[in-house]
Structures are given as C-alpha cells and as structure tokens.
Amino acid sequence: MRFIVISIKKYFFTVLFLSFILSLMLFSASNLEAAQNGLKLWANSVLPTLFPFFIATELLCKTNFVQILGKFLNQFMKPVFNVPGESAIAIIMGVISGYPVGAKVVCNLYDHKICSKSEAERLLAYTNNSGPIFILGSVGVSLLGNAQVGKILLISHILSSLIVGFTFRFWKRNQVDLTFRNYKSESKELIRVSNLGEILGDAIKKSISTILLIGGFVVLFSVIISILSSLEILTNLAHFLANFGVPYELALSILTGMIELTNGIQVASSSYPAFPLPCILTCSFLLGFGGLSVLLQVFSIIAKSKISIKPYLYGKTLQAFLSVILTYLLLI
C-alpha cells in the first residue's frame, strides 16, 4: 500500500497534465469559446477594476500614508486583530477593491518590513475579499435583480471577514519573528518629485505582472470548467447531490463556484425565482470562500514572500460559513 501511495504521488501531476492536454484536443471547440469568454471577462471587468488598485497600493507603500495610518489605528488594530496599525490599509483595500488585492497589499506590507511573517499570515486570513462593486452591481442588481439582497450580501461579507480577523488574532501569537525588522529602522526611500517617474514606472511594471497573472488564471479556469462540463462531471455530481434533497441548480452552482466564483454565482442566480432563500445563501457562501481560482491566485502572489497559504484557506472556509449565518439572520 505504501508503494502504491508513493507511486500515485510521483505520477499524479504527470497524469493530470497529460489528461488536461488530451481534453484540450478532444474538446477544442468548446474550450476555444470558453477561453475567449474568459479573456473578455478579464479585459472588460478584471483589468479596468483591479489594475488601478494595484498601482495605487504600490505607490502608497512609497509614501508616509501607512505610517500616519498606523499612528492613528495602532491602539485599535493591535488589541483587536493583533497586527500593527499600519496593516489597516490591507483591510481597507481588501474590502473596497476585491479579490486578490488584499493578498497583494499584505505582501507589500511584509516585503517592506511593516509587518512580520506571522502578522502577514493573520492578515491574509481575512483581508482578501470580494469587492462591493461585484457584490452590489454584478450579483445584487445584474444577476439577482434585487439591490436590497446585494446590500445584505455585502454587509454579511464584511462582518464575517472582521469576525475571522478577530478569531485569527490568536494565530501564532507567541511566535517571535527574529528576522523581522521594523520599517522605522530602515532608510525607506519615499516618493518625491525627483524619483516620481522611476517609482511610478516600477509600480506599473509590478502591477502589469500581477494583472497578467490573474488574467491567466481567469482564462485557465474558464477552460477547466468547460472541460468538466463537456465530460459531464459537474452535472453528474450535481445529480448525485440532488438525491439527498439539494436542488440540482444549487448543487451545480456550489460545485462550479468552488472552482471559479463568478461562474458559480451565475449558475446559482438561475435558481433565484424558484429557490430565493437557498440561492441567496449559496451566493453568500461562494462569495465568502472565493473558489479554487482565487486561492491559486493568492498562492501565486504570496509564493515569493514565503507566507503560508494555510491561514488563508482556514480563514476563507470559516468566512464562508459565517457569511451564510449572518446573511440568514439579516434576511429573517
């Protein structure tokens, strides 16, 4: 048995990627359409929405705004979330901008020695959230046709993230990062008129790299969902769950949303007229969790910083269930 397990681990990714290439060839027509749709989604929604935020956060880390914010909020952030006051910028940007800006800001704070590794991991658990434009506009108004429901989803989403933040204040609280040096002890170069062009150019280069990375994930997971649909894997699993009383449309939306958020919520919205409450709770769960696509986006962003992905995964799972509870309480 041990030999079999070792063999599976050794050849798992080889078999997986060969199967993916084979599926790309077998379902080339539907995959091409899915890739085109993913590219359109990235170009029309993701790029114009997130790219300015990436540039803004890069530039903010070159100013004294973070230090000023830390002086005002340190007495609140430290006892409540067990992180320095300067890290409030990650919470703010994570709430107003959407996935995966929060993770990018946390990495910037860690790379600039504004927070330690354990503090960055605490922040990562709850600062990477879905944006209000997506929740209110795309989900509430466009897909569900109910602006009030969009407001409830947004409130529960923010509250659940803050509860997760308070819970994760205990994450590695006794661990001391000996390699951490406070940013105040560094001669950090701030943005000035003389170096504005250089710093702006560097911020744009880093932002382009990140936004292209996200675009790659959007296209890739659009194709993966297309392949799974062609193989009828998701539909068969949804029919299986339907045998246990779960509505087929909601089961399919959960399975799809666990892979890619936007597609999952779009599938869930189709069941809104027939199952309004379960549909809303499903959307709340998916918004809180984010999906595998966002998880891998965050993983790719934090990889160079050596920040652990575990607190993010635990935090998003907890937030997903808390969002459902809070949404239900706000609806009744």
Q: What is the pLDDT of residues 100-117, one digit of tens each?
A: 888 888 988 888 888 888
Q: What is the mean pLDDT of the chain?
A: 84
DSSP 181: -
- Which pLDDT score is estimated for 187? 40
* Cα separation, 115 vs 177, whole angstroms: 10
* 55-88 residue pLDDT tens: 887 787 777 777 787 778 888 888 888 888 888 8
Q: Which amino acid is located at 306 in the chain?
A: K
- Which pLDDT score is estimated for 89? 85
Q: Which residue has the higher pLDDT, 27 or 4?
A: 27
* Cα separation, 3 vs 89, whole angstroms: 49
* 192-212 residue pLDDT tens: 666 778 888 888 988 898 888
The three-state (H, E, C) secondary structure of 64-88, written as one string: CHHHHHHHHHHHHHHHHHCCCHHHH
pLDDT category at 317 given cuts 50, 70, 90 is: very high
DSSP 188: P
Name the percent of the chain lying above pLDDT 70: 90
* pLDDT higher than threshold 50 for residue 186: no
Q: Which residue has the higher pLDDT, 324 or 15?
A: 324
- Which pLDDT score is estimated for 184? 46
- Which pLDDT score is estimated for 297? 86
Per-residue pLDDT averaged across 149-176, rounded? 88
Residue 57's contacts (CB-CB under 8 Å, 6 or more residues apart) are 89, 93, 101, 104, 105, 108
* Cα separation, 296 vs 307, whole angstroms: 14
* pLDDT higher than threshold 70 for residue 252: yes
Q: Nearest to residue 50, comparing CAs of 213, 165, 258?
A: 213
Please tell me the pTM assigned to this model: 0.82
* pLDDT higher than threshold 70 for residue 13: yes
